[in-house]
Structure 1
Amino acid sequence: MNVSRIALVTGANQGLGRALAEGLAARMEPDDLVLLTGRNPQRVADAARETAQADATRARVEGRVLDVTDSGAVARLAEELRTRHGGVDIVVSNAVARLLPGESQSERADEFIDVSNTATHTILRAFGPILRPGGRLIVVASSLGTLGHLPARLHPLFDGASLDQVEYAVESWRTAVHRGTAVEEGWPLWLNVPSKVAQVAAVRAVAAERRERDLAAGTLVAAVCPGMVDTPTSRPWFDDYSQAQSPEQAAAAVLDLILAEHVDPALYGELVRFGHALDWHAGTPPTAQNDLLVP
């Protein structure tokens, strides 16, 4: 069996995902492999080639076309890694659908939920079982992912929920959006808020089942908030970028978490920002669009 480490980053052909793939390639060992994935074949090929040729690159880099909304494709890649390498060591779920402020939330709901939530569930289910001891399973989320950003009436849907229950809640929310009853049922108008809460809840659900054996093996399952990042996806939502990080700057703290020698039990299963766990129950339901612009 090949014992070198295997890292996989989704949504990695640009922005934070690419910075994470580049950072892993620079900080892992020459026999390790970084799989840089995305949906667009040309962008994936270009990003993988440029990363592999960068002066700082140490690990091998391979581009893979992967549509995270294609559950079959995700399952096939997981099975390939299990068969060829005995599993995977680092998985970073980073893919996100770009949403502009002027776009209809209901018209974009399916794509947004499919990429941010359904795909997160698929990745957790596909790669969790093949994560090797000492591995890292990380979902890139946001500080909007704490439960308090939802009205209290919705908290029971996610607090202490299993992954199946989180998935059911997400589909109930999707149905409410299409039915035009989402606001009446208490869901925030802006898709990003329920989506991020559901992402973190999904991570917490998986972590709750694995915690004891993962900590014994030095394995980490967590969500991360990278902070405000200057990318094409986030730029339309902000007027002031004076405090924004470049993708490379934002990737640094995430990479430190991923590549830390030891796992801090206080971070296991939590939403981590700059090395500290955020309070799951913190936050205030948004009352205006500007309330959503928090990294």
Structure 2
Amino acid sequence: MSASKVAVVTGANKGVGYGIVEGLCKKFDGTIYLTARSENRGKAALAKLKELGFSPLFHQLDITDQESVDRFKEYIKSRHDGLDLLVNNAAIKYIHQLDTEHNSSANATELAVEEAEKTLEVNYYGTLRVCQALFPLLRNNARVVNISSASGRLCNIPSADLKAKFNDPNLTFEGVNKLMEKFIKDTKENRAEQEGWGTAYIASKVGLTALTFIQQRIFDKEVPNRNISINAVHPGFVDTDMSEHKGNLTVEQGARAPLYTALEANLKGKYIWFDSKVVDWAASPSP
């Protein structure tokens, strides 16, 4: 059983996740796991890194599949008996194609529900699933980085009532789950806009960021305390498939704030901007 430090990055076969793995290969002294839903794409990314002289390992991980998550948990537990760094990067920005020729309000609602369910299943529930499985394996002084977004800033939620609920210092896991369930319900009832939610992507990333703060509060109360830190990071507008290659940052630049948070920063329960500065999650950006 390996006693070296262990790092895991989800959704790492391309984009910011790939950039984070490459950065860890240069700076992290330990075993690095590049994980991806697709075994073929994951191994192809691994081959690219090996051509650069790096030697991370690959393991298949579909964060929407409980069996896949459980297999990975048991693998890490049996092979390493612990984990020192977890970067929850896997995410989607689901875009449906509306058939304008056959468009109807019913069809539009159906597509909106599909977008809401698929987006939250990966960005919120999938990440939560991984955390629930791997958090018991975190070693003392381990770090967790949840890759959020500028869309994950609370000001993107139009409703003052929803903002207050997300920003409640007593908000619990169950409370965030109920808010996510409400978003799905409101979408199904064609009330999401009226209720002041914003887009599915915004709801998923605000939910993830709120979850991050709750997780840190729970870690802080652990007895004995393992000194776990967890932070949410906005990597910036990066030139990836997620941004439809409209981003102004390179993958390497997008990986900088996550890597800083994972390896250097002495922070707990913060929302960190792409320039590696802590920002107030609940405040609107300065003009």
Q: TM-score under structure 2 normalisation?
A: 0.86
Match of 1:41 among 39, 42, 52: 39
User: Aligned residue for 2:263?
Assistant: 259
Q: Using the TM superposition, give the Cα deviation of residue 52 of structure 1 relative to its aligned residue in structure 2, in angstroms.
A: 2.6
Question: One-letter code of the match for 1:136?
Answer: R
Residues 204-283 of structure 1 aligned to structure 2 (within 5 Å): 204-211=213-220, 217-235=226-244, 238=246, 241=247, 244-260=248-264, 264=266, 267-273=267-273, 274-283=275-284
Distance 1:215 1:184 in 2: 46
Q: Report how far residue 279 of structure 1 moved.
A: 0.7
SS in structure 2 at match of 1:184: helix
Query: Using the alignment, how far apart are the partners of 1:123 and 1:246 within structure 2?
Result: 27
Q: Which segments of 5 or more consecutive residues in structure 2 lack a partner in the other structure? A: 99-110
Q: Are 2:160 and 1:152 equivalent residues in the alignment?
A: yes
Cα distance in 1 for residues equivalent to 2:223 and 2:233: 18
State, as a whole percentage, how many aligned pairs show the same letter. Answer: 28
Unaligned runs of 5+ in 1: 285-295
Q: CA deviation at 1:178?
A: 1.9
Conservation of the 8 A alpha-carbon contact between 2:197 and 2:203: yes
CA separation in 2, counterparts of 1:49 and 1:82? Answer: 25
**Contact 1:16–1:248 under 8 Å retained in 2:** yes
Letter in 1 for 2:143: R
Among 78, 91, 95, the alignment partner of 2:90 is 95
Q: In the alignment, does 2:164 pair up with 1:164?
A: no
Q: TM-score, normalised by structure 1?
A: 0.83
Q: Give, in whole Å, the separation in 1 of the partners of 2:39 and 2:127.
A: 21
Q: Report the Cα offset of residue 193 of structure 1.
A: 1.4
Corresponding residue to 1:193 among 202, 223, 226: 202
C-alpha spacing 1:234/1:185, structure 2 compared with 1 (3 Å)? same
Contact 2:82 2:139 in 1 (8 A): yes
1:275 is paired with a residue whose SS is: coil
Q: C-alpha distance in 2, partners of 1:98/1:187?
A: 16
Following TM superposition, by how much is the alpha carbon of 1:215 offset from its aligned partner in structure 2, in angstroms? 12
> In structure 2, how many angstroms separate the alpha carbons of the residues matched to 1:164 and 1:129?
19
- Which residue in 2 is equivalent to 1:292? none
Q: CA deviation at 1:233?
A: 1.2
Is 2:21 the counterpart of 1:26? no
Letter matched to residue 261 of structure 2: L
Task: Give aligned pairs, total.
Answer: 269
Q: CA deviation at 1:144?
A: 2.4
1:21 Cα deviation after fit? 1.0
| 2:166–2:176 contact (8 Å) kept in structure 1 | yes
d(CA) in 1 for partners of 2:182 and 2:59? 33
Shift of 1:25: 1.6
1:80 aligns to 2:75 (yes or no): yes
Native 8 Å contact 1:13 1:37 kept in 2: yes
Distance 2:37 2:206 in 1: 25
CA distance in 1, matches of 2:78, 2:163: 40
